[in-house]
Structure 1
Amino acid sequence: MITDIRSQWHHSKTEPVARGGMVTAEHHLAAEAGVEMLHDGGNAVDAAVAAAFVMGVVEPFTSGIGGIAGLVMRRADGTVASIEGSTRAPLGARADMFELVGGDARAGMYLWPAVKDGANIDGATSVSVPGQAAALCLALERYGSLPRRRVMEPAIRLARGGFEIDWYVALSFAMYAERLWKAGDARRVFFRPSGAPLRPPIGTEPSDRVVQTDLAHTLECIARDGPKVLYRGEIAEAIVADVRANGGVLSAADLATYEATQSKPLQTMYRGHRIITLDGLTGGPTVARALTVLDAFPVGAKEQGGVDHLHLVAEALRAAFLYRFSQLADHTTHLNAIDKEHTMVSLTQTLGQGFGSGFVPKGTGIVLVDGMTWFDPVPGHPNSIAPRKGVLWAGAPTLIVRGDAPLLAVGAPGGRKIMSAVTQAIVNIVDFGDGPQDAVNRPRVHDEGEGLLVDSRIPEDVREGLAALGHDVEVKEETLMSAWFARPNAILIDHKTGELRGGVDQLKPAVAIGLG
């Protein structure tokens, strides 16, 4: 027998260290915008909101003002809050509004029974009420320190002046080219005039630039007049008119009655650490429940990455997901910010699937969320469609406090995998003492109750050990563009030194940037 001995491609990133504040984000321009706010004397809320608005410009396939968002924050004085701008079904939505394909066909990121023409996941018919801008502006109004115009300035500048795309953005545009080509305004913005895809830098030639003039105008209106312009007035009218002209049911009343909400975050204890995360129809309760299960077992006494450790994690995740599916009626992006006073913000935002609905109302530049993708299109089920019904989404931005000292801001993009990724990053830090870069990069498992997904980097003997314990093991390789295990990022406060340390996904162009 011939044995192949091959070279292996390893990916790694350094762990930046800073004292004056830090921002982690999926794109360097977003992290830079956040640090720009810190440099100007802003706090972590200013930094997170600036980064979030920029993410909607530079990665419009993951998030934006037409999408949804949720954040948790803890100020240096111990004040905690959560703000959510989730979506809800339009007033005109009904349980039987979509025609089913029939049979065993499944579609969408949550694999509901397939709908004819993908109407629940694609185009104007999939659109629900956006909430991201309302949530970001509410957070800024109540907890920020800089003017809204200043915080939104980087996003407006990048939308109007454009930015050069890298390989990751170019590849993401290409992945969704077929969907975007169907939408007139999306086609105009995200393709070359010839109809060819936008290009990254090739050879000695620079990359194409993405210029979003209509989006810049919309952002300027929000900066000047607040998020109300998306829900009442000319922009709102343009959104509703184009959505309804293309078969959607979003109405003026849906927008006019929408408000982002502030509430108490969900808090629980794990190994003497206070866990602070989103409550309600989010991924927060699932993370909290998984950690509660693990808290009863001596995980830290096990070999990290060994059979016993991963078996306990898998069982805790399975129990948490079973509760989630029984009791509760993504391309995503995540970012964190901590300032020099150690105010912490963890923020997750999404459009649903990549580029959301793929629908951009004429003259607005806004990519709208495909909120109907979160609902079961079959009537009579717990998560079936109903007018004004909220969605069950997976965002789980999380903070950790040790005693009275802030310790960690962590979260991830990645649909349902968010919850398992955040749980395991926390375990790696609290139980095994990892720094943030190691914590987010270690191979993980994922279990929703139907089988155990195992990162291919986990050794074969460990996989065999998990199978021997009864797990239905399915090995998956995480590559540059795959989405098997989510992509967490985190900022850790080292109280022995007063330093901030950042950790980001090693495969994507995510980055942690510190100040001073």
Structure 2
Amino acid sequence: MHNFSTTQVIRKIVRQGAGGVVAAQHKIAARAGARVLAEGGDAIDAAVATSFAIGIVEPWMSGPMGGGMMNVWRAGAEKAETIQFGMRSPAGLDPAEYPIERGRKASDLFPWPAVEGDRNIRGGTAVAVPGTVAGIALAHEIWGTRPWAELLAPAIELAREGMQVDWYASLLIASEARDLARDPDAAAMFLVDGQWPIGESWTALSDARLDQGKAAETLARLAEAGPRDFYEGDIAAALVSDVQAKGGSLALSDLAEYRARRAPSLEQPYRDGRVMAPSGFSAGTELAQALAQMEGAFTPGDGPDAESYGAMADALDTAYARRLAEVGDTGEDDRTPACTTSFSIVDRAGNMVSVTQTLLSMFGAHVVSPSTGYLLNNGIMWFDPEPAKPNSLAPSKACLMNVCPTLGEGPAGRFAIGASGGRKILPAVANLTSFFLDHGMDLETAFHHPRIDVSGSGPIVADEALPKEVLDGLRSRRDVVEAPRGVHPYAFAVPAGVMRKDGSNSGCTEIMTPWGDAVHEDEV
């Protein structure tokens, strides 16, 4: 029995209109992107502005020091394309410097054997080569219509103001305060006396703000000098110096040699529509496999029922079994909060983009680069520290991610969706895709509908709001754990999506996100 209210109703209002819309995990970032659309910018222009803005207002989830993927569908184009900007291990990384501590499991997202001192999880030794700036810049180079510097201006302004530390920010900072206190630079940014979140208050409103002046300076330099400065210029030199001072192996050559990649997305026919999943080291292949199995496993009825949920659970189980056996990613721990950010955009012309970007863990490596003012990623944790595995730790190796920014179309319309939440991402995207293409739901109905999570060998996690006959049907397949949709931690992934039908656009985010929202260009 869960100690949650059964009479409280939480909803997100979904507005529709001809104008473009940005759906993001933070409304301030969504507003920055929507303003670009209102001023005549393209969906890609809005994505650039949103990416850098959300790195300021949600600094523990993503930012320039992380990586991710973008899925792009241009109006009138037959195919979608993926921009891959995942992190990589540095060339100078030595696996011998990550000795396994027998008898203990890793203390964060992955159930790898623990590494002595958690060197693959926290500190400079956990930092991988970041790709976000290169990926966003590549998309801008191909499709952008507005000047690079203009699109970074909203993030610079937000950084100069400093993000407000409200109750939710205080909660997240407090949950990681012990680890943040170990790094003097992280402690200075987020804590008071190394213990309490800046501005924490349980009984009064607070206008306390993070000091993000250094991040503002970094963004201003990036706007003026261009994106390659992050990899070959002053920013690169400062970043490498900071990481090496904290014990990491990141080198100038790692940054100079990094390139984002443009590739076709994976196309999967489904029912009366099709899905374009991200290619590369993502969960796109598993999504396509799950949908192919689902299509032959049941015939859609009036709405999701025990048969459709059961077929989805089976398909996700099969997809994860393949991922474990052939790809080497054994998934994350269900106890951890969502630690990534995702946003989706559609513009007035019908161009669509879905972006997922991450530092990996919440607060990444729990260390701040003092010269740049940003939290650093802990992408090295993506690798299995045991040798001779498909995903074993090694130098100059791409990180395997669970991100799955997805595009699709069917009778309900065209859609772009993505989610945060580690291995919960794939199930969330599969649920929503099924709601759209199996049952013809619109965006608002789909985002408010109960979901299930099957993301490994454990039990099915089912929304406790599902009908009894659905829950009973799932229990006939495997163990089921009922869970409510809550704020912290999330039992399910945190999606954000947009939809276009008959020239009208809509957007929505996970209904439980305190900050998440969709903003239309006519609202700014």
TM-score (norm 1): 0.93
Q: Could you list the runs of 5+ residues in structure 2 that have no partner in the other structure?
A: 329-337
CA drift of 1:354 comes to 0.3
One-letter amino acid of the structure 1 residue matched with residue 313 of structure 2: A
In the alignment, the residues of structure 1 paired with residue 201 and residue 10 of structure 2 have an alpha-carbon distance, to the nearest angstrom, of 21
DSSP 3-state at the match of 2:447: helix
CA distance in 2, matches of 1:453, 1:205: 36
Counterpart in the other structure of 2:99: 99
How far residue 37 of structure 1 moved from its aligned partner, in angstroms, is: 0.3
**Residue 474 (structure 1) aligned with residue 481 (structure 2):** yes
Residue 22 of structure 1 corresponds to which residue in structure 2?
A: 21
Relative to structure 1, the CA distance from residue 104 to residue 197 in structure 2 (aligned partners, 3 Å threshold; closer, same or farther) is closer
- RMSD between superposed Cα atoms in Å: 2.1
Counterparts in 2 of 1:97 and 1:273: CA distance versus 1, 3 Å: farther
Work out which of the residue numbers 493, 503, 521 in structure 2 matches 1:515: 521
What amino acid does structure 2 have at the position aligned with 1:358?
H
- Answer yes or no: is the 8 Å Cα contact 2:281–2:401 preserved in 1: yes
Q: Which of residues 420, 428, 453 in structure 2 aligns to 1:421?
A: 428
Which residue of 1 is the match for residue 12 of structure 2?
Answer: 13
Shift of 1:302: 6.7
Partner of 1:362: 370
Q: CA deviation at 1:169?
A: 2.1
**Paired residue total:** 508
Q: Determine if contact 2:270/2:292 at 8 Å carries over to the other structure.
A: yes
Residues 246-296 of structure 1: per-residue CA shift (max 9 Å, x gap): 221212221121111111111111113221121121011111111111121
1:89 aligns with 2:96: no
Query: Contact 2:63–2:358 (CA<8 Å) still a contact in 1?
Result: yes
How far apart in 1 are the matches of 2:95 and 2:17?
51
What pairs with 1:85-484 in structure 2 (closer than 5 Å)? 85-192=85-192, 196-199=196-199, 205-301=205-301, 303-304=303-304, 306-329=305-328, 331-402=339-410, 407-447=414-454, 448-468=456-476, 470-484=477-491
Whether contact under 8 Å (1:69, 1:86) holds in the other structure is yes
Q: Compare 5-14 and 74-83 and name the one that shifted more.
A: 5-14
Deviations 1:149-200 (A, max 9, x none): 1111100100112232332222212222222222222222223478631236
Q: In 2, distance between residues paired with 1:205 and 1:331?
A: 26
| Residue 384 to residue 6, structure 1, CA distance change in 2 (3 Å) | closer
Q: Secondary structure at the match of 2:291?
A: helix
- Report how far residue 57 of structure 1 moved: 0.4
> Contact 1:438–1:503 (CA<8 Å) still a contact in 2?
no
Q: Give the aligned partner of residue 502 of structure 1.
A: 507
1:140 Cα deviation (Å)? Answer: 1.0
1:414 partner letter? G
The more displaced of 202-211 and 182-191 is 202-211
CA contact 1:19–1:514 (8 Å) conserved in 2? no
- Give the counterpart letter for 1:32 in structure 2: R
Deviates more, 1:269-278 or 1:454-463: 454-463
CA deviation profile, 1:471-497 (whole Å, cap 9, x unmatched): 1222333321113210112111122xx
Is 1:493 the counterpart of 2:500? The answer is: yes
Deviations 1:441-490 (A, max 9, x none): 3222222233322222224443233222x312223333211132101121
Following TM superposition, by how much is the alpha carbon of 1:24 offset from its aligned partner in structure 2, in angstroms?
0.3
Percent identical = 33
Moved segments of 4+, more than 4 Å: 4-7, 192-195, 200-204
Partner of 1:40: 39
Deviations 1:103-156 (A, max 9, x none): 253432122112222211111111010000111111111101110111111001
CA contact (8 A) 1:165 1:210 kept: yes
**In structure 1, C-alpha distance between the alignment counterparts of 2:36 and 2:303, rounded to whole Å:** 42
Tell me the distance in 2 between the aligned counterparts of 1:167 and 1:300. Answer: 43
Distance 1:475 1:97, change over 3 A: farther
Distance 1:280 1:374 in 2: 15
The separation in 2 between residues aligned to 1:6 and 1:28, in whole angstroms, is 26
Number of the residue aligned with 1:59 = 58
- Deviation track 1:26-71 (CA, whole Å, cap 9, x = no partner) reads 1111000001101111011111121111110000111000000210
The answer on whether the counterparts of 2:187 and 2:194 sit within 8 Å (CA) in structure 1 is: no
The answer to whether the 8 A contact 2:56-2:163 is kept is no
**Shift of residue 308, structure 1, vs aligned partner:** 1.4
Name the amino acid aligned to 1:351: L
- Specify whether residues 189 and 299 from structure 1 end up closer, same or farther in structure 2 by C-alpha distance, changes over 3 A only: farther
User: Aligned letter for 1:364?
Assistant: T
How far apart in 1 are the matches of 2:413 and 2:142? 21
Q: Flag the 1:106–1:191 CA change in 2: closer, same or farther, 3 A.
A: closer
The separation in 2 between residues aligned to 1:107 and 1:7, in whole angstroms, is: 34
* Separation (CA, whole Å) in 2 of partners of 1:249 and 1:483: 34
Q: Which amino acid is the alignment partner of residue 118 of structure 1?
A: D
Work out the CA distance in 2 between the residues paired with 1:472 and 1:269: 31
C-alpha distance in 1 between matches for 2:399 and 2:98: 17
Q: What do the CA deviations read for 1:316-343 (whole angstroms, capped 9, x no partner)?
A: 1011111222222551110011010000
Give the alignment's TM-score, normalised by structure 2.
0.92
**Structure 1 alignment gaps of length 5 or more:** none
| SS of residue in 2 equivalent to 1:352 | coil
Q: 2:450 touches 2:463 (CA, 8 Å); kept in 1?
A: yes
Cα distance in structure 2, aligned partners of 1:62 and 1:6: 29
